Amino acid sequence: MAKTTQRGQVIRRKARQMKVTTARAVKGAGRSARQVQVTLGDLIAAAFDTVGGEVKKVAQVVSSKDMTVATGKHIVFVG
């Protein structure tokens, strides 16, 4: 609970709690962000930097559901 004073009186007010699902959080985050053009090579290079150079793990990261939501494209590795 937070306390607020108004003309010498102490008023207690409850903080609002919101239940946010992952999809709504991602959708809300994308609205305020500016769009950036990123190439597939940039995504793969960033995945290699993050994972540490293992090809199978990079393929999992780039083709994951979270990456699909973030980029709006489904990426599939064949090979």
pLDDT tens track for 7-49:
667 666 666 666 656 666 666 655 555 777 888 899 889 889 9
Tell me the whole-structure pTM to 2 decimals: 0.51
Q: What is the pLDDT of residue 72?
A: 86
Does the pLDDT at position 66 exceed 80? Answer: yes
∠ CA 2-25-52 to the nearest 5 degrees? 115
CB 26 within 8 A of CB 70: yes
Residue type, 68: T
Report how far apart the first and last C-alpha atoms of the chain are (Å, whole number). Answer: 56
* Higher pLDDT among residues 8 and 53, named by residue: 53
Under the banding of pLDDT at 50, 70 and 90, the label for residue 1 is very low
Across 57-69, average pLDDT: 89
Alpha carbon 71 to its chain's center: 11
C-alpha distance from residue 27 to each of 5, 33, 38, 71 (Å):
36, 10, 19, 12
